[in-house]
Structure 1
Amino acid sequence: MSTVLVLLVTTIVAYLVHRYFKNKRFNDMLKKLPSPPAAPIVKHVKHFRKLEGMMEMIGGFLDEYDGMVLLHPGPNINYFAVADHKLLEYLCTNTKNVIKSPRYKLFERWLGENGLFTAEGELWKKHRSLVTPAFHFQILEQFVDTFNAVSAEFIDILQTQVNKEIDIYHYVNLCALDIISETAMGVSVNAQRDSVSKYVHCVQEMLRIIAVRSFSPLKVHDWIFRLTSDYQKEEEAMRVLKGYTNSVIERKQKALDNGESRIVNQEKRRRLAYLDLLLENRGVSITDEDISNSVEGFMFAGHDTTAIAMGCTLYLLATHPDVQQRAFEELRDILGDDKNKVATYKDLQEMKYLEMVIKEALRLFPPAPIISKQILEDYEFNGYVLPKGLSILGMVHCIHRREKYFPNPNTFDPERFSPENQSKILPFSYLPFGAGHRNCVGQKFAMHEMKIVVSSVLRNFELLPIDGFKMVLVPQIVHKPKNGIKVKLVERKY
């Protein structure tokens, strides 16, 4: 046997031995973590056959195992689900030992590996530093005009649906898309007048496919996924979404080249939309691919999450008439009896009770129900050692509904967020916008948007529930309604 062959065989054997002991150590440490009984080989696969009811299933295990439980959706798939505020604090604030989960790689064909949503380390910091000025409070104040204009069109469309049972989510989804396009991207797409938005459908399809792959022991592998019908559906959705993104970028670049700018005074950087900031750095510190990926990630994060939050808030108001009436009376005190009066930035700050309502809706139905992380070194917590490389699911939906943190957790009670009660909420037990260094940079933007859209609806219509209808959400990365969000609109009488 030649020396080269001996060296090759020795290297392969050494690698296999190293991998065996590495995996053995990891698996031995997993066996010590709290976990429900599992079937041989297939483990807990029976619990993950469908997305509907998954949050409730995991929440039950978390209650049983005191906020931490190891789950195996399939062979060699390990997720450590947590709903403990101290462990969530560690996951959200540790910048050395915690990174995004490898499962985020499922987003990379869509959002790229170097976008704001998927990037890590210095590259992520670069993107974050570019986007932060777009959410300066002076920028937020000028966005109010756009919020109001898009909301006015939203109300005009809803006027045609008075005294009908409607899926309010369909309409508010298109409204949110118009808002994010005009404010953050600086272009108008008139989504609300396009009653069948291919963009919205394709976003929902992408989220469904990614969610299914996350918990599938087969589709999680690229080579198997490529043999499925979902791969073809993803290809079609990607074609539509990337075409849309590129058209937005091209339209904005052409406008800038023609001297059409959103700059209205000398404070140049403070007056630019997010896409302006990216294009300003085009070819200097950011590539065309970076711009495309960032726009796609921003459109997704700023549109879909806000849409479901507004839809759930309107549903809860419809099913809780006493809360709806109090919220309306607050708006009447602030804005008077003229339902067409435009809310100002100052008016938004006075909508205290409506903000409590929205925060409680976000507690019950957080748009992003899971934060997915991976640890780079062993970490000891509550007598357990979490092994290096473990994927951890921060169960936002579940911690929001634990009795330990929120008494009567399934009850809709905006008073939880009154000034005196909100101060009692434990840090990292309420995470609708994430927390730590990777928290949602647009949370104030989203709150102002939601206040204007929801307040516009309340000032024009009374929301009524539909007999026999119950909203059911499915966790597709972002929560999605299984059968829409159905309410009835009645003309508001002053």
Structure 2
Amino acid sequence: MAALEAWASWGFLTGAAAAVIIAVRWYLKISHCCRLVARIPGPPGIPLLGNTLQLIARREDILKYLKELRDRYVTVCKLWVGPILCVGMLDPKDISVILSSSKTLSKPIMYNLVSIVFGNSLLTAKFKEWKKFRKIMEPTFSNRIIESYISTFHEKSQRMADLLEERCHGEPFNMADYSMPCALEMLSETSLGVPMNIQGKSHQHSVVENFPKIAEVGAFTLLTPWMWFHLTHKFFPLYYKVIALVKPIRNYVTRLIKDKTESYISSRKHYVAPEASDIDINVSDIPKKRLGFLEHMVSTMVENPGLLSIEELQDQAMFVIAAGTDTTAYTLATTLMLLGLHQDVQRKVLQEQASIFGEDTSRPVTTIDLQQMVYLEQVINETMRLYPVAALMARRVDEDVSVNSYTLPAGTIVVIPIYLVHRNPEYFPNPDTFDPDRFSRENSASRPACTFIPFSYGRKMCLGKSYTYMAMKTMLSVLLRRYEVLECGSRDDMECFKFELLLKFNHGYSIRLRQRTFVIKNME
């Protein structure tokens, strides 16, 4: 009995000592953070919880809340979410430091729940793994490979345009219902190398149907601090809702990879990987077919055992499908909405199309054509400036880093509200006005880096940038040569949006179309 009492006492003392050590370390860490960021302004909080309750209270209108903080604190603001320090940044010079630094390459803790959907992908992986994945994937998103997709972009765009004939009578409809299946077909037949025919079908593909629902749930959990931790989020029903929504998409991806792996193994002599500068991949044959994303990833997995697991490949494919589909589909719909509201801009776009295609409203788009669509690219850029699909991004500070006149301690979460960065009146006068001329070569030359970051910046810039521009230009060229976009709704309607991991409009993506009944080249 005495021995048991001694052990019990020893256990109590050990536990108490451990608790004291943890408490002291926590106090020292918080004190260190407080000293370093004392000069950074921010709203007052309450003991222990900090600004957590404010964040939760404004979760439904987080972008509006961030705008209020911007109006009050201008370029930098701190919030405490319990012991976690969050610093919001709006100054492009400060953002450039953060996105370029080797000390800020990690994803913050709130991305833990996102890993349920995308696993260990480029979006969620730790830096060492991210670096490996990036090296493997980068060659498949080169301009040279994406240019080979243009014929597919045009074919799928024409299919979408044909389906839109039933909508060309001037009545409003939701453009996203057409752009989303089209974007998924494009991605499937190019990056995934899998034929797909879902446009015009009554039954929606699980990717089209479930990803928007996942985004809605994901945004809620991303702004709910007690769901940031692996130990806690499994206690909430939303976790299991996400699991149920992800399952059919992951099953679909698993089948694709299985089929592609079997196909590659049976005909591997006909395939080689694209150039990959510093990836050690066994290539012993002369290129006969340049591989797209999925085929290249499969070949890498087969030829280099241990470099890439099938689970990691599934995660990368899930992320590529979501990013490539949503970004293209929503940006296309938003661009058409803006062109309907700004007929003068639409006329300029049509004049440029006429200079390229003349009276031909159906000629396939080529690489040279896309290079000549300078003004159309300005329109796309201005659309992404006003309504970036990715409205927020965040980075974790791994080591103390100096930014401007202050130092951010390790562990700080830096939040970059892209939506507000893009509406900085210092760099974009009358920032709420739709004006594609902002992105002319002359007007863009004087703006510093990180004033326009729809694809991020630095080492982690989005791989799909070229893909998005080429796909978007092709889709818009096909649609605008056949249809006139009529005014529908208002800019005030478009300013009513919500954050669902992506920026989405409360009133949907309504547009009106009418068949073009005049010769483009004669239009004034």
Structure 1-normalised TM-score?
A: 0.92
1:59-98 aligned within 5 A = 59-72=67-80, 75-76=82-83, 78-98=85-105
Q: Counterpart of 1:189?
A: 196
For the residue of structure 2 that corresponds to 1:106, the secondary structure is coil
Contact between 1:306 and 1:367, CA under 8 Å: does it hold in 2? Answer: no
Question: Of residues 481, 497, 504 in structure 2, which corresponds to 1:459?
Answer: 481
Shift of 1:82: 0.8
SS state of the match for residue 415, structure 2?
strand
Rounded Cα–Cα distance in structure 2 between residues aligned with 1:490 and 1:50: 41
- 1:130 matched residue in structure 2: 136
Closer/same/farther in 2, CA of residues 269 and 89 from structure 1, 3 Å limit = farther
5+ residue gaps, structure 2: 1-5, 275-284, 520-524
1:84-483 aligned at under 5 Å gives the runs 84-113=91-120, 115-163=121-169, 164-195=171-202, 196-221=204-229, 225-257=233-265, 259=267, 268=287, 271-283=290-302, 284=305, 285-467=307-489, 470-471=493-494, 472-483=496-507
Going from structure 1 to structure 2, the CA distance change for 1:290 and 1:162 (only over 3 Å counts) comes to same
The residue identity in structure 2 corresponding to 1:324 is: Q
The 3 A distance-change label for structure 1 pair 338 and 465 is same
Q: Choose 431-440 or 93-102, whichever is displaced more.
A: 93-102
Q: Which sits farther off after the overlay, 120-129 or 250-259?
A: 250-259
Higher Rg: 2
Moved more, 253-262 or 300-309: 253-262
Matches of 2:508 and 2:442 in 1, distance apart?
35
TM superposition shift of 1:219: 3.6
Q: Which whole-Å deviations, capped at 9, do the CAs of 1:410-457 have from their partners, x for residues lacking one?
A: 100000111111101211111011110010112111100000001111
Q: What SS does the corresponding residue of 1:253 show, helix, strand or coil?
A: helix
Would you say the 8 A contact 2:341–2:487 is kept in 1? yes
Aligned partners of 1:274, 1:155: CA distance in 2, in Å?
Answer: 27
Query: Helix, strand or coil: the match of 1:36?
Result: coil
CA shift, 1:356, in A, is 0.6
CA distance in 2 between partners of 1:129 and 1:270 (Å): 20
Give the AA of the match of 1:419: R
* Residue identity opposite 2:301 in structure 1: R
Q: Distance in 2 between matches of 1:267 and 1:310?
A: 39
- The Cα of 1:190 is off from its aligned counterpart by 2.0
Q: Partners in 1 of 2:485 and 2:469 — Cα distance?
A: 21
- Residue 142 of structure 1: how far off its partner (Å): 0.9
Q: Is the 8 A contact 2:75 2:89 kept in 1?
A: yes
**Matching residue's letter, 2:174:** D
**SS of 1:212 mapped into structure 2:** helix
Does 1:26 pair with 2:33?
Answer: yes
Task: For 2:128, give the aligned amino acid.
Answer: E
> Aligned-residue CA RMSD in angstroms?
2.6
What SS does the aligned partner of 2:503 have?
strand
Residues 272-315 of structure 1: CA deviation (Å, up to 9, x unaligned) = 01001110012522111111111011111211122221111111
- Return the letter of the residue paired with 1:176: A
- Change in Cα spacing, 1:268 to 1:480, as seen in structure 2 (3 Å) is farther
CA distance in 2, matches of 1:18, 1:429: 39
Q: Which amino acid aligns with 2:212?
A: Q
Contact 1:308 1:479 in 2 (8 A): no
Percent sequence identity over aligned pairs: 27
Distance 1:81 1:96, change over 3 A: closer
Task: Between 272-281 and 283-292, report the one with greater CA deviation.
Answer: 283-292
Per the TM alignment, residue 326 of structure 1 is displaced from its structure 2 partner at its CA by 0.8
Instruction: In structure 1, give the amino acid aligned to 2:347.
Output: Q
| Distance in 2 (alpha carbons) for counterparts of 1:404 and 1:44 | 31
2:109–2:229 CA contact under 8 A, matched in 1:
no
